[in-house]
Amino acid sequence: MKPDSKEAVFDVYKEGKVVEQVTTNYDMIHITPPMSAPDFIKNSPLAVPGSPFGWVDVDKFTLQHNRYPNVYSIGDASSTPNAKTGAAVRKQAPVLVQQLLSQINYGKPADAKYTGYGSCPLITGYGKLVLAEFDYDNQPMETFPFDQSKERWTMYQLKKRVLPWMYWNKILKGTA
């Protein structure tokens, strides 16, 4: 960041390495700080070798570790290249359970696959929201039977009133 000249400098990564720096002017900027796995994972053999982010090195569909078959990982610390959200964890958890049960009972992977589901409730104005849900290929994985790419008051209400309840009462208990 160069706040004096109002310039933002972005590192462009390719295959885990910085290949280019791009400088962009801004009037107002909203940025996400650098993210990585916690140090105790980043500095362990579980992490993706040579990556500065230190994510747990797993298959993006089965969630099984690429080098330690008895290790699985979901959530923000895993290397799955999805939008890291609690909503993603909600879809990863049932796949993880099926994979574990299949390994324990049959000694082989289950057919269940995590396809990268992520959900971003984008507040676009007062009382308006776009509920973006998509997979690894950015293809829509919409929950509702209408066009979710439109700003909606109902989706704003969902985010404001329903999701907090669902989070505390259902998702954390594994029932939704």
Residue choice 59, 76, 135, 142 for contact with ligand FAD (CB under 6 A): 76
Q: How far apart are CA 119 and CA 142, in angstroms?
A: 9
Residue choice 8, 36, 61, 89 for contact with ligand FAD (CB under 6 A): 89
| Residue 1 · residue 14 · CB < 8 Å | no
Determine the residue type at 134: F
Name the residue among 152, 113, 155 with its Cα closest to residue 136: 113
87 in contact with ligand FAD (CB under 6 A): yes
Candidates 28-36, 77-85, 92-100, 140-148: pick the segment binding ligand FAD (CB under 6 A): 77-85
Distances (CA, A) of 123 to 60, 92, 126, 154, 168: 29, 25, 8, 12, 21
Structure tokens at 103: 């390994």
CB of 147 vs ligand FAD, minimal distance in Å: 21
CB of 84 vs ligand FAD, minimal distance in Å: 5
Candidates 17-25, 49-57, 70-78, 134-142: pick the segment binding ligand FAD (CB under 6 A): 70-78
Residue choice 59, 66, 75, 97 for contact with ligand FAD (CB under 6 A): 75
Size of the site for ligand FAD (CB under 6 A): 12
| Residue 149 · residue 129 · CB < 8 Å | no
38 in contact with ligand FAD (CB under 6 A): yes
Binders of ligand FAD in range 111-130 (CB under 6 A):
119, 121
Candidates 48-56, 75-83, 103-111, 128-136: pick the segment binding ligand FAD (CB under 6 A): 75-83
Pairing status of strand 7-14 against strand 17-25:
antiparallel
| Residue 142 · residue 156 · CB < 8 Å | no
Q: How far apart are CA 175 and CA 95, in angstroms?
A: 14
85 in contact with ligand FAD (CB under 6 A): yes
Residues near ligand FAD (CB under 6 A): 38, 40, 75-77, 84-87, 89, 119, 121
